[in-house]
Chains A and B, each alone.
Chain A
Amino acid sequence: MLLQVLASGLSAGSIYALMALALVITYKTTEVPNFAQGDMAMVSAFIAYMFLTDFQTGFIVAFGAALVFAFLLGVGFEGLVLRRMRNPTHLNLIIMTLGFTLALFGLAGWKWGADQRRFPFPVSASEVVRLGGVSVSTLSVATILIAAVLMVVVFAFFRFTKLGIAMQATQQDPIAARINGVPTRAVVGLTFGISSVIGSVAALLTAPLITLDPTLMWDALLKGFAAAVLGGLNTPVGAVLGGYLLGVIENLFGAYVSVEFKSVVAFLIIVIVLWFRPSGLFGRHHERKV
């Protein structure tokens, strides 16, 4: 029973971890959470759906198109929307991300409607495999593996490539990065592109589980945000651990305490963490950029 709960927790946690990572990557650049992260991912999932159903393409083409779209959407959101603001305050930026998310949500509703659509996927949520006494769906296995591989790739990129290191430098101090010859505008755009791609992978893994409609990523965004707060909004690794932790805690709560209140756990966690450890479990104390 416990192992079973842990497996479900890990699977849900993978989605939260991806969303948390996507949020944290841009949070470190702008110092505000991008509340459009979820709906940007949702629209990307619809792009894949369009390719699969309207254009009848295979999965590789459809998912590839969705990821390319997500990347461009992220770059465009930063370059054409956020950067156009004159001397934005944090509040201005937050409102802009909220505005953008409402615009995307409205557009998706207008284009695709509110129907819950079955999202075709190579593996299924109902097809079950037994692994060491635990039954997990092939979709869960795929989710856990894909998320883990993607996150390892992202972390390796940040840690070991010159561009990744320059990206971290830009997050910490854009002016200092620029005077070292880093083209910071392009780098910030790229940061949003990568973040959007990570979010859209989460959306592509969520859609086959709960069907596709414009509210696809609402829950995932809020949980991802909670996970990032739990782990630490300024530590990508912490946010990812926060995602897995939240998935597991939520499922343990659902199994042993109350299924009805399972979703409330995430929000209780936000409140409790902000009371006792505002920088998150794994976060350093936040230093404000000048």
Chain B
Amino acid sequence: MDNRSDVLLELNGVETWYGPLRALSDVSFTVTDGSIKVILGNNGAGKSTLLNTILGVLEGQPKSGKISFRGTRIDRMATERIVRAGISYVPEGRRIFGELTVRENLKVGAYIQTNRFAARQALDRVYGFFPLLAERQSQAAGTLSGGEQQMLAIGRALMNGPRVLLLDEPSLGLAPILVRQVFDIISQIRDEGVTVLLVEQNARMALAVADEGLVLDSGELVAAGSASDLVDNAEVEELYMGASSLPTDRESRHEVDPE
């Protein structure tokens, strides 16, 4: 994080507005090449907005600030070009194409891939990560279970061979065993050289795999640091890891209402 040459993605004073509402104010941080960074925060804190802003999905946003990827400004680029530059996105709610087959979904993921051989390799790689998707490749994606759809959404995003993977709440709505599996896969993906920027409500699980983290509150960055620092940060723990898991002495110290 300190070494500039390792910075893959950099945000500087980013501000995003929804009409008259400021959803992100003065957000600045960097993402180190080969790391997993997690963005924590409550509902409505601006986590998804942040990812959407990076990918240029929001019309005319960010209103101000700079976003650079590998040294190139991307904050005024069209989404297709940002994707081509090497950023992939697993959106909130998966948004798989339900009427297309698993294989067709993955083909859409490889849309920017013009080299057939590379596309074939990417497909094999995704099937390697998710053998289940290979088994179900001719099935309509809408008939997959929630966990399988999440795998498909991640697989689809990997088809481009991205440098950075943005993940929005990959554990949402999944059974605990699947959540663990998804986080294992995220670690594996990082180990293969893909940098991960992850939005999560499941802070405990996310910080266990992440290298660095930051906390958003009402569109502002309120804490940042290494994952282990954030785990030790009492405030973060109280706010984002659930009071029920806190030891009793801390609970009284922070005046958490034990419901």
| Contacts A165-B104, A175-B57, A175-B91 given; does A180 touch B98 at CB 8 Å | no
What is the bound-complex CA distance between A189 and B109, given in angstroms? Answer: 21
What is the bound-complex CA distance between A166 and B97, given in angstroms? Answer: 10
Instruction: Check A172 against B99 for contact (C-beta < 8 Å).
Output: yes
Instruction: Check B156 against A172 for contact (C-beta < 8 Å).
Output: no
Kindly count the residue-residue contacts between A and B in the assembled complex, taking CB atoms under 8 Å apart: 64
What's the least CB distance linking A185 to chain B, in Å?
9
What is the bound-complex CA distance between A96 and B96, given in angstroms? Answer: 31
Instruction: Check A172 against B57 for contact (C-beta < 8 Å).
Output: no
One of B1-9, B68-76, B79-87, B231-239 at the interface:
B79-87
What is the bound-complex CA distance between A92 and B84, given in angstroms? Answer: 35
Instruction: Check B108 against A169 for contact (C-beta < 8 Å).
Output: yes
What's the least CB distance linking A47 to chain B, in Å?
33
Instruction: Check A182 against B89 for contact (C-beta < 8 Å).
Output: no
Those of B106-158 within 8 Å (CB) of chain A: 107-109, 111-112, 156-157
Q: What residues on A are CB-neighbors of B108 within 8 Å?
A: 165-166, 169, 177, 180, 182
- Of the candidates B89, B95, B112, the one having the most CB atoms from chain A within 10 angstroms of its own CB is B95
CB within 8 A of B95: which of A162, A166, A168, A173?
A: A173
What is the bound-complex CA distance between A179 and B79, given in angstroms? Answer: 6
Main SS class of interface, A: helix
Q: What residues on A are CB-neighbors of B78 within 8 Å?
A: 183
What is the bound-complex CA distance between A178 and B77, given in angstroms? Answer: 13
CB nearest neighbor in A for B112: A181
Q: What residues on B are CB-neighbors of A255 within 8 Å?
A: none
CB within 8 A of B98: which of A162, A172, A182, A183?
A: A172
Instruction: Check B79 against A176 for contact (C-beta < 8 Å).
Output: no
| Contacts A180-B156, A181-B112 given; does A162 touch B57 at CB 8 Å | no
Q: What residues on A are CB-neighbors of B23 within 8 Å?
A: none
Q: What residues on B are CB-neighbors of A177 within 8 Å?
A: 97, 108
Instruction: Check A166 against B111 for contact (C-beta < 8 Å).
Output: yes
Instruction: Check A179 against B55 for contact (C-beta < 8 Å).
Output: yes
| Contacts A165-B107, A166-B108 given; does A182 touch B95 at CB 8 Å | no
What is the bound-complex CA distance between A166 and B107, given in angstroms? Answer: 8
Q: What residues on A are CB-neighbors of B83 within 8 Å?
A: 179-181
Q: What residues on B are CB-neighbors of A182 within 8 Å?
A: 80, 108, 111
Instruction: Check B91 against A183 for contact (C-beta < 8 Å).
Output: no
What is the bound-complex CA distance between A176 and B93, given in angstroms? Answer: 10
Residue B100 at the chain A interface, CB threshold 8 Å: yes
| Contacts A162-B111, A169-B108, A175-B91 given; does A181 touch B99 at CB 8 Å | no
Those of A149-184 within 8 Å (CB) of chain B: 162, 165-166, 168-169, 172-173, 175-183
Given contacts A172-B97, A177-B97, A178-B80, 17 further A-B contacts (CB under 8 A): A166-B108, A168-B100, A168-B104, A173-B95, A175-B57, A175-B95, A176-B91, A176-B97, A178-B57, A179-B55, A179-B83, A179-B89, A180-B157, A181-B79, A181-B112, A182-B80, A183-B80
